[in-house]
Amino acid sequence: MTAAPAPVPDAARAERADARRNREIVLRTAMRVFAEEGREVSLGQIAHRAGVGAGTVYRHFPSKEILVEAVLAEHVQGFVVSAGGWAGRAAPGDALFGFLLEVIEKLADRKHVCEALTADKGWPRAVLTAAAQRFHEALAGLLHDAKQAGAIRADVRVDDLAALTVGGAALRSAHRDLARGTRLVRLLLDGLRTPTVTKASELRDAPSRQRHETAAPSERRCEECGARLRIRATGRPPRYCGPTCRQRARRRRVADGGMEPLPSSAAPSQR
């Protein structure tokens, strides 16, 4: 008969909770510092910024390489969580393209993270390998659903999309005009969509349609991610698919023209 495990004293549980909390503090601080200043920051500097002793950092991350790998794995895991969110709230094609645009924008904003992933030929190691596999599976799921819905070209593969996120981030970062860089990324993503077959009757009716609107209301798309929009019978036509794209567009307008953003409570709805 197997003996029951001995109960864990309250003091031991509290010590373990403190250790987990300290590890989380160090990891979150390292994520922020590496993103802002690059990988040249020392563990001592990270300990100072985290408000803990150097021994605490070394206890959880014996070397800077181990800490860098943990930071990269945490970023990748964040993408995995985001992929699940997109799958749960959007149509298959919209979920895939919205997710790709989000990953590209975050990689472009976290330039040091992207460089760390691509520059070091020693990646991936064990911790990062596991996170990368989860990302691959999440991306494969979105791609499969989008193909089933006929929203993306049938010959696109998961490794194509993974390479595209890195290239798209570099493209967006390289353009001096952030708005135009983002627009180029959206055009790049649009090239993956299933080509639309135009019927002969649609060609005959085109001149009359052009006298009204350039796009039928049922075909309106989000100005940020290109997702198809739901059109209401009343009210102003929507411009964005949701709060995320609306806030992204507002931040870009602020960056381009210096316009002060409206408080979230006062911002008019665009949907």
Mean pLDDT along residues 146-172: 93
Q: For 123-138, what is each residue's pLDDT tens digit?
A: 557 888 899 899 999 9
Q: What span, in angstroms and rounded, lies between the C-alpha atoms of 244 and 250?
A: 10
Distance CA 137, CA 22 (A): 31
Torsion, Cα 260 263 268 271, to 10 degrees, reads 100
The residue that leads in pLDDT, 54 or 118, is 54
Can you give the pLDDT at residue 186?
92
Structure token pair of residue 67: 């800490």
State the pTM of this model. Answer: 0.66
The residue behind tokens 């959007």 is: 90
DSSP labels, 15-72: HHHHHHHHHHHHHHHHHHHHHHH-TT--HHHHHHHHTS-HHHHHHH-SSHHHHHHHHH
pLDDT in tens, 219-258: 577 777 777 777 665 567 778 777 877 877 777 766 655 4
Closest CA to 240 of 268, 201, 205, 202: 268
Lowest mean pLDDT among 65-69, 115-119, 134-138, 166-170: 115-119
Max Cα-Cα span within the chain: 84
Beta strands in the chain (DSSP E): none
Q: What is the predicted pLDDT for the residue at 196?
A: 63
